[in-house]
Amino acid sequence: MVGTRSQEALPVLPVPIDRSRSNAYFNRMSKLEIIKIPDPILREASAPVETVDENVRRLMDDMLETMYDAPGVGLAAIQVGIPKRVIVLDVAGDEDEPQPLFMANPKIVRLGEPMRMHEEGCLSIPSVHVEIERPAEVTVQYVDRDGAEQELVADGLLATAVQHEIDHLDGKLIIDFLSRLKRDIIIRKFKKQQRPASV
């Protein structure tokens, strides 16, 4: 998900990771290619992760670097061509310490009643923004980078980002909130951009 780093109050999260430190955790990360529409893989439902092993942790780390580089506040594994139920997020403000979240098999178990309207962007649909109304608070269960089961109550931008990325895992995109006409116009635009230039 593309978004402006929020200055809203953030929930208490695990100790932030200092990306400026020279350590093996960040040195071995690499950027991945972000898939754009109309690639059909973005419509695939992602499969659950059986166990958070070293391969999944490496994927999470690479996704995080890719997301920061894009830049965005959330990224789903399907957006880098891997149909696994893995997302990474960081909605910390630009002036704040990074607060990365790694989620395998995220599942929303409760939606709050108040709604929140937010203009959402997507790294797989560059330069397109859609006003979407979603629950302002969600409770999500997931498996963290260490393989431990967690539950998090998220609100504000984090709640929006969690819902946006879980949509990706189910093959749903922000353009699905638009009318069919508007959605088709956007898809045609991206298809046209992919055509090779005439010689």
User: Positive or negative CA dihedral for 9, 15, 21, 26?
Assistant: negative
65, 120, 137, 165: which one is catalytic?
A: 165
In terms of Cα–Cα distance, which of 150, 160, 76, 157 is closest to 111? 160
* Alpha carbons 54 and 10: distance in angstroms, whole number: 29
In terms of Cα–Cα distance, which of 14, 32, 3 is closest to 163? 3
CA distances from 96 to 7, 18, 159, 164 (A): 9, 11, 18, 22
Alpha helices (H) along 87-134: none
How many residues are present in the chain?
199
What the block records as the tokens of 164 is 């946006």
Instruction: For residue 165, indicate whether it is catalytic.
Output: yes
- Other C-beta atoms within 10 Å of 26: how many? 15
101 within 8 A of 90, measured Cβ to Cβ = yes
Q: Which residues are catalytic?
A: 165
